[in-house]
Amino acid sequence: MLISSFVAFASAAYAHTPSDIVITFDPKTRILNAVIMHGVSNPESHFIRKVDIALNGKEIIEHALSRQDNNASQAVAYLIPDVNTGDTLSVEAYCSISGKLNKEVRAVSVNAP
């Protein structure tokens, strides 16, 4: 039991929220790109497990992941056709062990499709 407790505490010590999310939105293609910074030693066991995308506070995409792209980050891209000028897009990233981070970007100069 003592060993189990030690392993649980050691795992929690290495768990951390993503450190940053770099978001870009291309108003011409209506593609949202996000790079989620999350440094890990093993991207198959400690990774970004889920990414949620919201448009003006309403969740529109829930993306489950089974591993991280690499030891430093997870990149994602989504087509968001319903964005208008002034809308807010948010990206929320969840660590597979513990923690989450949310960042927003405002859409500018979006022309009607």
15-24: per-residue pLDDT in tens? 688 999 999 9
Phi and psi at 61, nearest 5°, equal: -140, 135
Contact 47, 16 (CB under 8 A): no
Contact 70, 43 (CB under 8 A): yes
Query: With bands split at pLDDT 50, 70 and 90, how would you rate the model's confidence at 11?
Result: very low
pLDDT of residue 10: 45
Q: pTM score > 0.75 for this model? A: yes
pLDDT of residue 12: 43
Q: Tell me the C-alpha distance between 64 and 58, whole Å.
A: 18
What share of the chain in percent tops pLDDT 70?
85
| CATH of span 2-106 | 2.60.40.730
